[in-house]
Amino acid sequence: MNATLWWQGGIFYQVYPRSYQDSNADGVGDLPGLIARLPYLRQLGVDAVWLSPIFPSPMADFGYDISDYTGIDPVFGTMADFDALITAAHASGLKLILDLVPNHTSDRHPWFLESRSSRDNFRRDWYIWRDGAPDGGPPNNWLSEFGGSAWQHDAATGQYYYHAFLSQQPDLNWRNPQVRHAMHDVMRFWLRRGVDGFRVDVIWHLIKDAQFRDNPANPNHRPGHPPNEALLPLHTTDQDEVHDVIAGMRRVIDEFDQRVLIGEIYLPIERLVAYYGKNLLGAHLPFNFALLSAPWNARSIESIIAEYEEALPPGAWPNWVLGNHDRPRIASRVGPEQARVAAMLLLSLRGTPTLYYGDEIGMRQVAIAPGQVRDPFEKNVPGLGVGRDGCRTPMQWDAGPNAGFSNGVPWLPLADDFARENVRNLDADPASILNLYKALIGLRRQHQALISGSYQPIAAKEDLLIYRRAGESNSVLVVLNFGDDPVELVSAEIGLKGELLLSTVMDRTGEKIAGSLDLRGNEGVMILTPRTG
C-alpha cells in the first residue's frame, strides 16, 4: 500500500506541555515556550506534534480534568498564544494534534455544576447518576482506576455519580445524544481553528453497561498490583456500543480535509483492532501500545508484530508506540544500549510511529522523592510504584540552570544526569542517541520502503529479530540483536547483500555486506538490499 495521507507517512511526537519549555519562569512549560522550540522539532524531523491537554483545568489530574473544552488554561498561555502556535507550526510544516478528553470533565465544569444542582436539572442525565444499593452504599462494585469505589455520593441530591478516575473527574453519559452533540461541537471548534486532529483519551471507556452489572473478580490479581485490577472491567470498558460513538466522532473529523482521529486504547490486540471501525470508519489509528509492556526479547517482539499484522483489518494502517506520559521511560525499561535498538525498531516497523518527548535523548525515569510526588494516582495508592511523575520530568535542553527548561523552580525535579545528557551535548556528539534518531528519521524520508513497503518477517533464533521492508525498487533489511553477545550471521536465504545504511552504534554507514554479517551485542543494523520477491 502506498502511503498517500500525511498521518500514514508521518512521525508523531508527543509533548507533555508542562515539561517542555517554560517561557515565564513559573516552573511550568507553556505555549510560548513550545513555539520557541519548534525549530528543534523541525530539525529532529518529526511531522506532527501531539499536545497533552492545555484546556482550563483545576489540575487535579494535570489537565485531564477539564473545566472548559474551548479555552486555554492560563498556566499555558492564552488563545492568542494557541493561534500563534498553530500558525507557527503550520508554517514550519508541522501538524498539531490536540488531546481530547471526552470521557469525563472536571467536577468544576459548568455542565457538572448544573447536573449536580438538582435531580430535575436539564443536564442531570449528562452524567451517570444512580441511587445507592438497596442495603446502602454504592450502586455496584465498580472501582476507580485511581483506587477506591468509582461511585461518589452527593449529599445534596442523595445519589451517586460515576467516576472512572478521580472523584473530581465525573464521567459523561455518552448514551445521551445531547452529550454527543456537545462534544462534536467542541471538536468542530478546534478543527475550525486549524488543528489537524485529536488523540482521544480513554476512548474505550466511553460507554458503560446499561444494566450496571457488577464487574467479575479477576482470578489473576496479585498483592502489590493496583487495587482496581482486583476486578475485570467487563461492564465498564470496551462495550459494543462504543463503536457507534466513535463512528460519530469520525463523521465529524471527515467534515474537514486531511484530519486524523487517534484513540487511546489499552486492550489486547484482537480487541484493539475493532476500533478501526466497521468499514474502517472508526479511529484512523487506534494506538497500539503492545511494545509498552512487552517482555524485551526478540521472540516476544517477533510474536507481537506477527499477531498485530495478522489481526489488522484489510486496508487498516498500523501504528507503534514506545513511550508516553503514563508509562516508564523506554531507556529505563530496557537500558541505554537497547534503547537504541528500540529506536531502530520503532522507526523501521510498518506503520506510523509515535515518539515521546525526551526519548530521543535517552531520558530516563526519574526517582521522585515522597515529598515531591505530584501524580494523584501515586498519592491515592502509595507504595505500589504506579506514579507517573518520573516520565514527565522537564525536557533536558542544555547543561545550564534547570537544564534550560525554566528560569524558575521546575514543577517536577530534573534528572541527575541532565548536565551531561541534554540536547546541546548530544547534538554535538555524532554517535549520540539523538543523532541516531535523526538518522533513522532521515532514512524514512529517503527510502519509501520504510513507509509503504511490506513487512516480511525472516526466521531467526535466540536474540535476533530480522525482517525486511520490501519496496517497489529496493528493500531494507533490519537485523536487531536483543542480546549482549555478538553474533555472526551467514545465510544466503535472507539476502545478506547490499549496503549497510545505519548501525545503532553509528559507525558502519556505507559498509558493504556480501553474504555474512558480524553483529555486536545490543546492535541493530539496516541494510539496503536489491528488491526480492
* Per-residue model confidence as pLDDT tens digits over 156-204: 999 999 999 999 999 999 999 999 999 999 999 999 999 999 999 999 9
Q: What gap in Å lies between CA 323 and CA 344, rounded to an integer?
A: 14
Identify any residues that bridge with 156 across adjacent strands, giving them in sequence order: none
Is 68 a residue of the active site? no
Residue 74 is predicted with a pLDDT of: 98
Q: How far apart are the first and last CA of the chain?
A: 16
With bands split at pLDDT 50, 70 and 90, how would you rate the model's confidence at 1?
A: very low
Please, how many CA atoms are within 13 Å of residue 151, restricted to the half-sphere of its CB?
21
List Cα–Cα distances, 158 to 104, 124, 125, 136, 366, in angstroms: 21, 13, 15, 11, 44
Q: What gap in Å lies between CA 171 and CA 235, rounded to an integer?
A: 15
If you average pLDDT over every residue of the chain, what do you get? 96
Q: Which DSSP letter does residue 74 get?
A: T
Interval 482-501 mean pLDDT? 92
Catalytic residue among 214, 255, 429, 518: 255
> Is 127 within 8 Å of 171 (Cβ atoms)?
yes
- Of residues 469, 465, 532, 461, the one with CA closest to residue 495: 532
Residue 492 is predicted with a pLDDT of: 77
Q: What gap in Å lies between CA 56 and CA 273, rounded to an integer?
A: 33
3-class DSSP string for 137-194: CCCCCCECCCCCECEEEECCCCEEEECCCCCCCCEECCCCHHHHHHHHHHHHHHHHHC
Residue 533 is predicted with a pLDDT of: 52
Residue 3 pLDDT exceeds 80: no
Residue 495 is predicted with a pLDDT of: 83
Residue 338 pLDDT exceeds 60: yes
Catalytic residue among 30, 145, 201, 389: 201
Angle (nearest 5°) at CA 449 between 455 and 506: 95
Our separate counts of H helices and E strands in the chain read 16, 19
The model carries a pTM of: 0.97
Exposed, middle or buried: residue 240 (CB in 10 Å: 0-12, 13-18, 19+)?
A: exposed
Interval 490-494 mean pLDDT? 83
- Interacting residues of 532 by C-beta distance below 8 A, sequence separation 6+: 468, 470, 475, 495
CATH number for the domain formed by residue range(s) 110-162: 3.90.400.10
Q: What gap in Å lies between CA 88 and CA 523, rounded to an integer?
A: 38
- How many CB atoms within 10 Å of residue 26? 15
DSSP SS3 for 401: helix
Decide if domain 6-105+177-208+238-440 falls under CATH 3.20.20.80: yes
Residue 10 pLDDT exceeds 80: yes
- Please enumerate, as own/partner, the contacts of 424-433 that have beta carbons within 8 Å and a separation of 24 or more: 424/397, 424/398, 424/399, 425/398, 425/399, 426/361, 426/362, 430/506, 431/505, 431/506, 431/507, 432/361, 432/506, 433/336, 433/339, 433/340, 433/343, 433/360, 433/361, 433/362
Interval 215-237 mean pLDDT? 95
With bands split at pLDDT 50, 70 and 90, how would you rate the model's confidence at 307?
A: very high
Interval 511-525 mean pLDDT? 96
Residue 395 is predicted with a pLDDT of: 98
Residue 532 is predicted with a pLDDT of: 59
With bands split at pLDDT 50, 70 and 90, how would you rate the model's confidence at 238?
A: very high
List Cα–Cα distances, 500 to 177, 228, 530, in angstroms: 56, 49, 12
Residue 433 is predicted with a pLDDT of: 98
Q: Which DSSP letter does residue 462 get?
A: T
Q: What gap in Å lies between CA 340 and CA 520, rounded to an integer?
A: 13
3-class DSSP string for 196-258: CEEEECCHHHCCCCCCCCCCCECCCCCCCCCHHHHECCCCCCCCCCHHHHHHHHHHHHCCCCC
Interval 10-17 mean pLDDT? 98
Q: Lowest-pLDDT range, 70-79, 471-480, 485-494, 496-505? A: 485-494
Is 255 a residue of the active site? yes
Q: Where are the beta strands (DSSP E) in 101-142?
A: 129-130
- Topology of domain 453-530, per CATH? Immunoglobulin-like (2.60.40)
Domains of the chain, by residue range, sit at: 6-105+177-208+238-440, 110-162, 453-530
The alpha carbon of residue 390 and the mean position of all alpha carbons in its chain are separated, in whole angstroms, by 16
Model confidence over 113-125: pLDDT tens digits?
999 999 999 999 9
